[in-house]
Amino acid sequence: MRKTAFFMAIVVLAGCGASVVRGPEVAVSNDGRTTDAQLATGTKAVDDPARTDTGGVPQRNAAGTWVGVAPESDVLAAGDGTASIALWVDAPTARPRVRVPMDVSLVIDTSGSMAGAKIENARRASNLLVDDLADGDIVSIVSFNDDAKTIAEPTVLSSETRRSLKAKIALLQPNGSTNMFDGLGLGETHVARAPNTHAVRRVVVISDGITNVGPSSPEALGALAERGIRFHAQVTSLGVGNDYDERTLNALATRSTGRLYHLSDPKEMASLVGHELELLRSTVATDAFVEVVPAPGVDLVGVEGVRSERGADGAFKLPLGALFSGQHREAVLRVRLHDTTATSSRALASVRLHFRDPDDGDVPRIQEVVARAGFSSDAASVAKAENAKAKSIIAVMDASKLELGASQSAGQGQFAAADKQLEEAQLALETRAKKATDDSERARLSAVARKVASARAQVQAAPSAPAATQRNMTLELNAAGMHDSGF
């Protein structure tokens, strides 16, 4: 039998609502009849997670799965050398019955550039965080300028401690330079001490500038953020104004599987902190990660777009952290196949979602699906078996990469290059939307295409715009690309 090296990409997505499986067995849908092949090819939808037969209180269904997989075609081209598979994780949209206790460290830039409205709104956002978290949650506050200092040690919230924390927040004053490395490190140190009861652990960084004291590269700060994953901490970055380094804040979010917000107006700070807390309150799973185990004859080559860890056995681990209701994540896993001569469906990889379920005593859960495909040298057969959902996922992810690239080009004043990248993304999305047979997929693709078209119009007008407008456009484009990538 002829052996052929075959490359494949797997896209990982965590997003819309689905149901929960209540045990470590292979997941099935609510009708109990879904086969591995149906789950693997995305041909069977899971039931809605909310049901109202429990006194009107939405509950997550005990059967069903969050994880699914679909190749770009159920029949892949033999000997072609490249292909893609979409794999998704759908956190349920129903609110959790149990609220997970939180440990949050607020890390605030108090350098001189934060004077005025920025520090005033940072104090306001800090007070909102202290008010909105529940009694029993833990809060610490760190400030950084020339160096980093702890304003408030990890404090269990109560009516008495809230007053003490607010008094300390009122003393925050801007001066000096920007030592984000020490500030982030100190915040992580506090969250690392969280008790096991507080499974949601977040470091929230607020900054308006570029690090100019201590290690300052995106790589160094990203590696520091990634260190927090060891004790289940993630980083949320809030970039305030037009002067912060988006590459650094991107690295904090991506390397820790966290989030990024761009704030053009400091007045948005409190509302975005409130939004972040609302997401954390809707946590439906903690310590989540995807494990991809190759089938015999398959090598997992690497991951694009999300942090990953390669195991000694050739498997990959993709940390997701705490999942909130309806969360959406994407990545690409490259795979090499050594035999594409099979005509019947064959297994490519076992994809396993691991998480802890706060609605059931934090018990560990495992859900599994198997990626499968057949192979053919007939191009018509491959085209006929095309999977619309997988194609739309891949198209949106490719567009997000082009958005981020366009942001970097615009940041360097290369507006023509940025426009060309966005044009490529827009045309690809519009082409895929026309081919989509599913209404929801067509709507999703069209919405992203319209957003990219709007960004193109801004890029085309940028050469004659004031410098501040150009910079804000660049940051908004970066934030859009990060959002479409799942951050």
Are residues 119 and 172 in contact, defined by beta-carbon separation less than 8 angstroms?
yes
At 166 the three-state DSSP class reads helix
pLDDT in tens, 163-219: 999 999 999 999 999 999 999 999 999 999 999 999 999 999 999 988 999 999 999
- Give the separation between CA 348 and CA 480, rounded to whole angstroms: 33
Span 269-295, average pLDDT: 93
Phi, psi dihedral angles at 263 (to 5 degrees): -115, 105
- Give the separation between CA 378 and CA 76, rounded to whole angstroms: 9
pLDDT on residue 234 = 95
For residue 286, list its beta bridge partners.
356
pLDDT on residue 307 = 82
Nearest to 14 by CA among 293, 203, 288: 288
Chain position carrying tokens 């560990």 = 364
pLDDT in tens, 95-110: 889 999 999 999 999 9
pLDDT on residue 342 = 66
Higher pLDDT, 254 or 11: 254
Residue 21 has pLDDT above 80, yes or no: no
Higher pLDDT, 45 or 416: 416
- Give the separation between CA 150 and CA 186, rounded to whole angstroms: 8
pLDDT on residue 39 = 33
What is the signed CA dihedral for 13, 198, 354, 189, rounded to 10 degrees?
80
pLDDT in tens, 378-427: 989 988 998 888 888 889 989 999 999 999 999 999 999 999 999 999 99
Q: Which of 59-73, 98-112, 233-247 has the lowest mean pLDDT?
A: 59-73
Are residues 40 and 371 in contact, defined by beta-carbon separation less than 8 angstroms?
yes
Instruction: Kindly report the three-state secondary structure assignment for every residue of 169-195.
Output: HCCCCCCCCCCHHHHHHHHHHHHCCCC
* pTM reported for the whole predicted model: 0.82
- Give the separation between CA 312 and CA 300, rounded to whole angstroms: 12
Question: Which sign does the torsion angle of CA 437, 440, 445, 449 carry?
Answer: positive
Residue 51 has pLDDT above 60, yes or no: no
Task: Give, rounded to a whole angstrom, the gap between the first and last alpha carbons of the chain.
Answer: 45
Residue 45 has pLDDT above 50, yes or no: no
**pLDDT tier at 148, thresholds 50, 70, 90:** very high
DSSP conformational letter for 51: B
